[in-house]
Amino acid sequence: MLYKELADVYSELEKTTKRLEKTEIISNFFKRVLVGDIRKVVYLLKGSIYAQWEGDKLGVSERLIIKIISESSGINQSEIEKLWKKLGDLGKVAEEVLGNKKQSTLSSKKLTLKKVFENLRKLSSFEGSGTVSKKISLVVELLNNANPLEARYIVNTIVNDLRVGVASGVIRDSIAKAFDKDADEVENVYNLTTDYGETAELAMQNKMHGNLTPGKPIRLQLAIRTESIEEALKAVGKPAQCEFKIDGFRLQIHFDGRETKLFTRSMENVTKQFPDVVKTVTGNVKGQDFILDSEVVGHKDEIYLPFQNISQRIKRKYDIENTAKNFPVEVDIFDVVYHNGKNLMNSPLSERRKLLEKIVNQKSGKIILTRKIISGNEEEIERFYSEALQRGTEGLMLKNLEGAYKPGRYVNGWVKLKPVMEPLDLVITKAEWGEGKRSDWLSSFTVSCKKGEEFLEMGKVGSGVKEKNEGVKFSELTKELRRLIINDHGKTVEVKPKLIIEVSYEEIQKSPTYKSGFALRFPRILRVRSEKDVEEINTLSDVERIYSRQRYRK
């Protein structure tokens, strides 16, 4: 397959914002793709060359891309930078300057999808001396043989800024439509493979089954919010398994018989950041292989410490051993979905818990099973709830004892009970530069919820951010957001919707000012949710639900 065919699809996708039209375009394209190319096509449509959980970076900065475009086009780097400032899109820069370049048709070859994919994959494989020159050579080779439109999308793929608006839901629906499958069936397979490329390949071959494989992350089961113990018991049934809801970060633990791997809920591999957890699990969990679901939390004197105390460990790349000593963690295990070669997802929760009690050697402060009781008595559960809050947890989880494990699903089998008001996980979509002593920082942040593939603004927040000391800092948010800027309007910048923050507030109000139709009264940033994916932020439906219940409470 020629890369031009994919570039033409990108171009079509850019012309519409409608989800159904995007699905139609992609599904029609899938029907023309050979089985050997379908994985590559799916990855590239998502603006990547890897499955989400592989996490490899191409290691090509915007500055290096400018140098590459300059070398391929023969135009001075300073001119390339001026054009970038004008267009705000390095892909469009490549398209324009290479479109003006007079190339010999004899020297250029038609780019195949395979060639583009292979060259881009090689970019992350280089180490040591000569790495930069090797990367330049690989990309220049592609650009020298690309037509202007192809060059645009090659560059935007490399800088992770494809701009064609293809989210996971569109890929799922396109696979279903192209290969005559049910969308839920496609999602069920994806929940196990966590790879839409593999899922598309299976659908194309009419093999709609995904296998659990230790070492390859799964999508985790999620819990529905409830307002009371009575409501929670109605949802899960009596008696229920009631567990402490820990204020840590979700960690799936995989052992394949040789090595232990750790993944966050968004499938980021954090094994290197937590050597202490690897050591603890290796020495205290029995099994030839297994996949465990857990929460990792800071812990001191039998009190659970707030999430921010250990959140900095997730992104730590250097000085890991000292950080582990300064911020020790406890692993609270609450489920097992695979053990000794057997998929346990359809086994009842009660059986999975009994197995955990057999295979986990608990050590306080290191590795334990999440504290639980089994009860259908509201007064007993209320006492357990009070104890949980006194111990520094977020509240309780209530679970159906006969329930299966449902990856990637919000189902009534699991519900959570937390004190009101419920904080929101929102994504930053705009930010403003500060004034005076804060002029070097972004200090006001526009936050948005989600409706389908669209992000809807809910207002601005700046409270809760610190200049110094512990907690969320202006300097840290600015550093993260700088690399996400896509448009600059004086003091205001638009950013890619990537950085998720947890926001508290006094109440939700109706507001015609913002596209969501709502605004937050006295919003405050609680923490950065670096372990979460943008697909997991609160939806407009969540906001409407909280608003309606808030009015009822008044």
From 181, 216, 245, 430, active-site residue: 245
Q: Please, which contacts does 179-183 make with residues 24 or more away whose CB atoms are closer than 8 Å? A: 179/30, 179/203, 179/204, 179/206, 181/208
Mean pLDDT (the chain) is 91
Mean pLDDT, residues 437-460: 92
Q: Where in the chain is the domain with CATH 3.30.470.30?
A: 222-417
Coil, strand, or helix at residue 412? Answer: strand
CATH of region 424-553 = 2.40.50.140
Mean pLDDT, residues 138-143: 96
What are 52's two structure tokens?
């989400």
pLDDT attached to residue 106: 46
- Confidence check: pLDDT of 107 > 70: no
Mean pLDDT, residues 522-550: 89
Q: Provide the b/e sequence for 505-518 (b: ≥16 CB within 10 Å).
A: beebeebeebbbeb
Annotated binding residue 39: no
Q: Across-strand partners of 373?
A: 242
- Confidence check: pLDDT of 305 > 80: no
Closest CA to 57 of 317, 291, 262, 275: 317
Closest CA to 327 of 349, 350, 308: 308
Q: What span, in angstroms and rounded, lies between the C-alpha atoms of 371 and 466?
A: 34
Running DSSP on this structure, what letter comes out for residue 226?
E
Catalytic residue flag (residue 46): no
Annotated binding residue 378: no
Q: Where in the chain is the domain with CATH 2.40.50.140?
A: 424-553
Name which residue leads in pLDDT, 422 or 101. 422
CATH of region 3-158 = 1.10.3260.10
- Inter-residue contact 214 to 254 (CB < 8 Å): yes
Q: What span, in angstroms and rounded, lies between the C-alpha atoms of 411 and 403?
A: 10
Mean pLDDT, residues 268-273: 92
Q: Where in the chain is the domain with CATH 1.10.3260.10?
A: 3-158
CA 274 to chain centre: 19
Q: What span, in angstroms and rounded, lies between the C-alpha atoms of 233 and 327?
A: 36
- Confidence check: pLDDT of 408 > 80: yes
Local confidence band at 102 (pLDDT 50, 70, 90 cut-offs): low
Name which residue leads in pLDDT, 105 or 188. 188
pLDDT attached to residue 470: 65
Please, which residues have CB within 8 angstroms of residue 140's CB and are 6 or more apart in sequence? 68, 71, 72
Mean pLDDT, residues 120-134: 88
Running DSSP on this structure, what letter comes out for residue 285?
B
Annotated binding residue 286: no
- Inter-residue contact 31 to 178 (CB < 8 Å): yes
The β-bridge relationship of strands 290-300 and 442-451 is unpaired
**Lowest-confidence pick of 122-126, 250-254, 316-320:** 316-320
Annotated binding residue 19: no
% of the chain surpassing 90 pLDDT: 69
Mean pLDDT, residues 205-215: 91
Q: Which CATH architecture has domain 222-417?
A: 2-Layer Sandwich (3.30)
Annotated binding residue 455: no
Local confidence band at 105 (pLDDT 50, 70, 90 cut-offs): very low
The residue whose two tokens read 């004197």 is 301
Annotated binding residue 507: no
